[in-house]
Structure formats: C-alpha cells, structure tokens
Amino acid sequence: MLYIQVLIAIVLGVLLGWLQPEWGKSLKWLGDGFIALIKMLIAPIIFCTIVHGIASIGDLKKVGRVGLKALIYFEVVSSLALLIGIIVGEVVQPGAGFGADVSKLDAKAVEGYASKAAADSTVAHLLGIIPKSFFDAFATGDLLQVLLISVLTGVVLTGMGKKGESITHGIDAAGQVFFRIIGLIVKLAPIGAFGAMAFTVGQYGIGKVIDLAWLVGTFYTTSLLFIFVVLGGIAAFAGFSIIKFLAYIKDELLIVLGTSSSETVLPHMMTKMKRLGASDSVVGLVIPTGYSFNLDGTNIYMTLTTLFLAQAVGADLSVGQYATIFLVAMLTSKGASGVTGAGFITLAATLAAIPGAPVPVAAMTLVLGVDKFMSECRALTNLIGNGVATIVVSRWEGELDRKKLAEVMAHPVAIGTEISDEAPEGPGEDEPATAPKVVAAQ
C-alpha cells in the first residue's frame, strides 16, 4: 500500500534527520527531485483538464455559472479562514511576552522573501497573470497564467463547432498521457517524502519546533479547528462526514505531509473527487482553480503569524491595520500555488503593506526556522479545503451523484485506497479500457 510506504518513509526520514543531521541534510535532493517531477506536469495537466472541461460542457453560460459559484464559495470560506486566524491570534496571544528586539533582528535572512514581496504590488500582481507568450506560462509553471490561457482556449473551442471538437479530443488524449506519467511518478512518493523529511529535521532540528512550539502548536490547532468545525459543518450540510472524507483521501494527505506541497497529488485528487460523485465538469474547473484561489491553510497562516510577529515585537495594531491585513492577505494569497515557501513570500507582502509598518519584514526571521514545519499544515489544509469545495459546488450545481457519495462514505477506507494502475483518470468523460482500478484495503 502506497500510504503505508509513505508513512514509513516519513518516520524514517524524521529519525535520520534527528540522529544523523548532516546525512539528513544531504538528502534534500530526493524531495526536491520528486516535487520537480510532479511540477513539470502540473501546468499541462491543468491546461488539458480545464480546456476539456469547458469545451465538453458546450454552454458558456454554464461555465460562467460554475465558475462564479466556485469563486463565491472560495471567497466566503477564505474570509472565514482569515478571520479565524485573527480571532485565535487575539485570544491565544502566541507572541505575547516574546520580547523580540527589532534592532537586533537579522534582516539579511529574509532579504530574498522581502524583495520578491516588494515587487508584488497590486498592479504587478494583476499584470503578472498575463504570460509573456502562450507557452511562457508552461515554461514558468505560474498557475494563474495557466488558468488564464486555459479558460481562453476552452471558450474559443466551445464556439468552433466540429473543428473545436476534434481539437478538444486531441487535448483530451494528451491529458490522458500526462495523467499516466503522473501515475508512474507518484510511485516514487515514499522516496521523496523520506528525503524531504530527513532534510527538514536535519537542517532545522526538532529543537526549533520546541523553541517556537507555542506558535506551531497554535497554528496546527487552529487549522484542525477550521477543518473539523468550518469545513466539517460545510461537509455535513453537503451530506457527508469530514472524518470519513479524510479517511478517503488518506493517501494524498500522507504524500502532502511528506513533501509539503499539495501539487504533488492534484491529479489523484481529481480522480477521487469524480469517484466520490462530483461531475467531471465541476471537478475539471474547481480543483485546478482552487489551487490558486482557495488556500485556506495559507490564509490562516498569514493572519495568525502576522499577529504573532506583531505581539512578539510589541506592536499594537489599530482597527484600520487589521482591515489592511485582511484585505492584503486576501489578495496576495491568490498567488500562492500550494508550493512550499509560497506562504512565506505572501507573509512578507502582507507585513510590508500594513500602514505605518508596525511590524518590520525583518521580524520574519523569528519564524524562519519553523516555517518549514508549518508549510506541511498549510498544504494539508489547502488540499482538504479544495476537496470539500469540489463536492459543495457540484451539489450546488445539481451535479452530485448522492448515491455514489453515500456508498463511498459508507466505506471510505476500503474505497479510498491507492490506484493500482499506472495513472489516475484523465480529464476525459469516457473511461478508457485500461482505466485505473480501485483496490480494497489489505
């Protein structure tokens, strides 16, 4: 079983990084290599999936309706995530009494993040969605750019009649190829998880977590609160249990835990959402879009960590500054694609935008050592949030197979196991003869 292999790999990686830190740090390339293999296919998979999804619907009004419902859901839930981060930060006060001396903070440690954040103004952020060329979006892997050209291509193909259908069929076939390649790469997940965890513990040490355990613990607790209360309530309204849903996607959760990137399981999440009863068209639009617009874990991290840093340096924030944090975080989070480290850049952008600069960007050095440990939680929460969003929007659109949902949720562990074939299902509606099968848990 893949999830057992990944779990064992994570434990071994932690032990190696703890007992042999230098050796653990030298294995960083294993995790980086696995993520790079996945990332090289994310852009074409999203392109093929969205284009096929829009073109196969054939009704631009429906495409717009589904997209609008998804965006409304994303904004409402993302706002709740931001507010929960602020509320918990104010109630728990994780940075109170930290007593950090601003004059002694090492700004050089976060110069790279600060410079990237400074270049990401509102106008630059919007213009950055437009790629230099059609193929540049694939070369850079910018998900917002890929989403733009995917939507434009799908809309155009919808109005091209027979010619559009033949091109759509070709894109669908290409998508099947990319999905099968991903299926082969995912088999390397235990190796990638082992290397990533060995490096993390070897580089930063378990002691780093202990030093800032209150912040890390608060963040994990807040994320669990959000998952089980907010997402759990939404799931209950949609007709399923959040606990059974987590059991259903346990393989994907373990892979994300090991790699700190939710992109590593994007294709398999799309497959599992279809098998859960969500329609192909909704899955093809909501999952890829959610990777840029529905980052619940990142939103909680940004507001909670901002308040921690403000408390740590003794800064008192006004109501207007709170409002700025909320609005800026809502905007900058759209650029974080689920890749480890993206949340740290958006945090720098948020701090730099607060009027009066009460919290210097250099204060980020206080959490630099434990950010890697929090990135796993960000990615996990983002993944769960996108899965729940897909089911909710599919139900909202009236395209959720409730009978199939009930059957899967009745036996989530047995049904939600690893895919035994080379690849997850592609974006096409017709299942190929060699479609992957779901095997029962052993």
Q: Give the residue extent of every domain in the chain.
A: 60-131+204-415
- Please give the CATH number for the structural domain made up of 60-131+204-415: 1.10.3860.10
CA Rg value for the chain: 21
Ranges of residues in the chain with a pLDDT under 50 are 109-110, 113-114, 338-340, 419-423, 429-442
| pLDDT confidence of residue 435 | 37
Predicted confidence at residue 339, as pLDDT, reads 44
Residue type, 399: E
User: With left for phi above 0 and alpha for psi between -120 and 50, is residue 401 left, alpha or beta?
Assistant: beta
3-state secondary structure of 7: helix
Given a contact cutoff of 8 angstroms between Cβ atoms, the answer to whether 103 and 1 are in contact is no
| Amino acid, single-letter form, for residue 421 | D
The Cβ of residue 5 has, within 10 Å, a number of other Cβ atoms equal to 18
Helix/strand/coil for 100: coil
Q: What is the pTM of this model?
A: 0.73
Q: Which of 236, 220, 214 is nearest to 85 (CA)?
A: 220
pLDDT tens digits along 397-406 = 888 888 888 8
Strand, helix or coil for residue 359: coil
Task: Please give the pLDDT value at position 429.
Answer: 47
The predicted pLDDT at position 228 comes to 95
For residue 304, give the nearest of 233, 312, 242 by alpha carbon: 312
Q: What is the pLDDT of residue 431?
A: 42
Alpha-carbon span 440 to 418, nearest angstrom? 9
CA 255/CA 284 separation, integer angstroms: 22
Concatenating the DSSP letter of every residue in 247-291 gives: HHTHHHHHHHHHHS-GGGGHHHHHHHHHHTTB-HHHHHHHHHHHH
CA distances from 260 to 13, 24, 56, 190, 318 (A): 14, 17, 33, 13, 34
